[in-house]
């Protein structure tokens, strides 16, 4: 795909951005539902911390997400994944046939 021409953004109405505003309440609800026993991603933020402090984190995260949408910039950490090989059979005898990749994404990225 060709790179995005920033001049194209000038053609959007002022009503365009409000359609994509993320409400802090929505973030709070999603963070409160995080399963704490699932693995965290490459950001290293424990899921229990996001869940237990969802009411304190929802406002700053909403500001970050909305600024990211408004600016058209997404942090490189949100584009990264930690790939973990999981055996299909035990014991694995072939790297190419007996392992499947599982991608661990940053929790804040995958739930937002």
Count CA atoms within 13 Å of residue 98 on its CB side: 8
H helices of the chain, where? 24-32, 47-52, 54-71, 95-98, 107-110
In tens digits, the chain (112 residues) has pLDDT values of 567 676 766 665 554 456 678 899 999 999 999 999 988 888 888 999 999 999 999 999 999 988 888 888 888 888 888 898 999 988 888 888 899 998 888 887 654 4
Instruction: Please give the model's pTM, rounded to 2 decimal places.
Output: 0.68
Per-domain residue ranges of the chain: 13-110
């Amino acid at each position: 795909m060709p790179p995005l021409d920033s001049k194209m953004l000038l053609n959007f109405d002022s009503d365009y951005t409000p359609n994509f505003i993320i409400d802090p309440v929505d973030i709070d609800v999603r963070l409160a539902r995080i399963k704490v026993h699932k693995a965290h991603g490459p950001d290293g933020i424990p899921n229990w911390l996001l869940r237990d402090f969802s009411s304190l984190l929802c406002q700053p995260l909403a500001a970050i997400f909305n600024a990211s949408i408004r600016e058209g910039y997404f942090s490189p950490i949100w584009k990264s994944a930690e790939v973990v090989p999981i055996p299909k059979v035990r014991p694995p005898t072939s790297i190419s046939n007996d392992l499947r990749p599982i991608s661990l994404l940053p929790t804040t990225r995958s739930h937002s």
